Structure 1
Amino acid sequence: MSGEANKYDASQIQVLEGWEAVRKRPGMYIGSTGERGLLHMVFEVADRAVNEVLAGHASCVDVTLTPDGGVRVADDGRGVRIDEAGASGISGLEALLTRFQTGPGTGGRHDVTLGFCGVGPFVVNALSSRMTAEVRRGGARWVQEYARGVAVTPLTEAGTSTGSGTTITFWPDADIFEAAEFSFDGLAERFRELALLNKGLEISLTDQRRPGESRAARFRYPDGARDFVTLLDEPEETPVHQHIIGFEREDPRMAGTVEVALRWRDSQEERIRSFANSRPTFGGTHERGFRDGAAAAVTAYARKQGQLTTADPDLEGDRIGEGLTAVVSVKLDHPEFEGPIRDLLGNAAVRVCIEEAVQQHLGRWLEEYPERAAAVIGRIINGVRRA
C-alpha cells in the first residue's frame, strides 16, 4: 500500500457535537442502551425535580410510566425559567433541554445527582424520539415539543395555571434502545434509597403500562438513616439490641454533615452502606472513619469494664462488623471522588471528623445502656477470639 494511502491527518477526523455525539455513542452518557441506560434516562430528568424539593421550592416529585411507553416526571416547584438564558437567545427551558450541563451540580451538599454522570436532561432529549415539556409559572402554562434533541415547536403559552411546576415527558428512541423496558423495581430501589437519605424528600412512582395492573409506591422516610437500617435488616433476624443508634452532626473541618445509624444483629453478616452526597460509594474516608471510631469506642468501653485486659490488643475497625448493619451518609460542599467509576470518597478531613463523632456518640450510648452494651461487646470480643 502506498504512503499516500496510509496518510492520516486532521481532515480525516470527524467531529460530532451536541445531540449527534450523544446519539452516536449513547453508552458514554447513560452507561448502556439496555435496562441500565433506561433507568439513567429517568434519573437524569428527575435530578432537577428532586433538587427543587430539597431546596424547599417543591413538596414532591411524581414519576409515571405511561401506557404508551413514555415516562412523565412532574414537580410542583417554581417552574423552569421561560425567559432568555444569558446570551444564548433561547429560553431557560430550551437551554436545559438542548445544551450539555457541565457535570454534577454546583450546590455542594445541597445538590443531588441521580444520573450516570450528571449530564442532564439534554442527553435524554437527544436519545428520545419525542419529548414534551410543560412549565407552569407566573399564572401561565407554557408548552414545547422536541424530537431527538431538537425543538420542533416554539415555546407557546397554552392557557392559565393556578399553580407552578414543571412536567417533562419523554419516549426513548426505539432506534437506539434494545428490546428492554423500564424496570419498576430498579426505579423504586433508587428512589427509596434517595428518600431514605434525604428526610424532607417525597417521591411517588406509578406504573400505568398494563391496563388493570397498575402499581404505585410512595417514598418518604422521616427518620432517615434509622429507617434505612430497619429496612436493611431482615425481619427474621434477631437484633442484639432493639434500639437503633443514630446521630447527625455538622463539622466545618470537612465542610459538611454526617448522618450515621447502626445496630448489631444475631448474624455473622456485615451490612455497611456508605454514601456521599446521596451517591452510593464502595468505601472511602467516611467508611474508614466510621469503622475506626466504632472500634475505638468499643475498645475503650471493653477495657473499662474489664472485658479486654491490658494484654489484649485494641480492636481494629475491620473486626467490629460481624452482625452489624450501618448506614454512613455524608453531604459535603466539595466531595472528592476516586476510583475508575468515582465510587470511593477521598476527602482526608472526613475520616478524622467521622471517627471522632462515632467514637463520642457510640461511647455515650454504651455508657447509658450497660445491659445492651454488654451484649454488643461480648459478641464482638467472642467473634474476635474465635477468628
Structure 2
Amino acid sequence: MEAGVGFLELPPISAYTGAYMLERSLVSKPSIRPANPCFSSGPCAKRPGWSLSVLQHALLGRSHRSPEGKERLNRVIQQSREVLGIPDGWEIGIVPASDTGAVEMILWSLAGTRPIDILAFESFSSIWATDIIKHLEIKEARVFSADYGQLPEMRDVNWAHDVVFVWNGTTSGVCLPSADVIPIRHDGLAICDATSAAFAMDLPWDRLDVVTWSWQKALGGEAAHGMLALSPKAVKRLEAAHGLRPLPRIFRLMTSDGKLDQSIFQGNTINTPSMLCVEDALDGLAWAKEVGGLPALIKRSQNNLKVIEKWVSQSAWIDFLAENPACRSTTSVCFKITASWFVALEQKQQQVAAKAMASLLAKEGVAFDIASYRDAPPGLRLWTGATVETSDVEAVLPWLDWAEAVIRQDYE
C-alpha cells in the first residue's frame, strides 16, 4: 500500500485480495493478555481486587449532611491527610467538579492579588493560562511555555509572584524533576495541580501552598469530586482577597464576613456529593494504607516505569514523549511513534494511524483508552499508576508491538 493512505481511509483494491488479508493475519498475536486491560489516564484503573461488593455499605438514600454522611466525608479528608503526609495546619476540603473545579475555585478566588507566572507544558496547564489571561483578565501574568515532552525554562520564574503549575503533565508525560525547582522560601503562592501526581509521587508540602487533585486518578476512584488543600499562608491570602470579584456559590470558600468557611474542610461540602463515590474513595484509601502507604504507592509506579524503560530501549519504533529521563512521568507515560513509516505521514494521517493502533488494541480487549490526549502529538499513552499491576504492564507491551506491526502494513 502506498505511503500516506490512512488506515481509516478507503484502501486500494489490492487491500481486499486474499493475499493481502493472509499477510495481515500472519502477524502473530502475543500469547499473554493483561489481566486488567484498563490503562486509561482518567478515570484510571480500579485497585487490584476491586469489585462492586466494596460499595455495599455506601450511605445511599441518606443525606450527606447527616451525622453519618459528614463522618464519611470527613474520613476521606483525614485519611487523605494521613496517606499523603499533609502537614498539620493545612486545610483539606472536598469540592465540586473534580480537579478542574478545585483549580478554578482557587484561581477565581485570589488571582490578581499578586502578579502570576504560569508554567504551561501540556493541555491542562495551558487551560489555566488561558483562564488567567483571557477570562480573569489578569494583566500582570506571564506564561512560561514548552512543547509537549519538555519543561519550560524555569530560571526566570519569579517566586515572589504566585506561580501556577501542574506537578505532572497528564497529557505530556512530563513532571517536575524535583522539589528543588521551588524555593523553600517564597513570597508568592505555589499553586500546584497535582491530580496525576498525588498518591504516586512525593510532593514537597513544605514548598507548596495550594494543592489540588481528584479521586479518579492515582487511586482509581470515581469522577466528579475534587480535593483542595490549603497551607496557612494560602488561607491568609484568601481572607485578604475576600470580595476581589463576584463568585458563583459553587466557588465560594469564604463566609460572608471574609473568613475561610471551615465547614467545607470538615466534610460539609458546598454541593451534594455522591455517597457511592465517597465509599469508593474510602476503599481506595484503605487499600493504599494496606499496601504500605505512600512509599509503596510510589514504588509500584516506579516499577511500572522501569519495565517500560527497558522495553523502549529495545524498540525501534517508539520512544518516550518526555525527552529528559529526570522529568519522565511514572503515571501518565506518553509515547511518540518514531518508526520511519509513521514519521513520513502528515500529522492528520499520523493521528489516524495512532488511533487505529489504539482501536485495534481495544478491539482485542488488551488495552483500553490509550490514544494520546486530543491536544497532544499523535501517539499512545499508558496509565501506570499504583493501581496498575506490573504484570499487566509487562503483558501489554508485546501487544503494542503487535499493533504497530499490523497497522504498519496499511502504510508500507
Return the TM-score normalized by structure 1.
0.26
Higher strand share: 1
Structure scoring higher RCO (CA < 8 A, sep ≥ 6) equals 2
TM-score normalised over the length of structure 2:
0.25
Q: Comparing both structures, which one devotes a greater share of its residues to helix?
A: 2
Larger Rg: 1
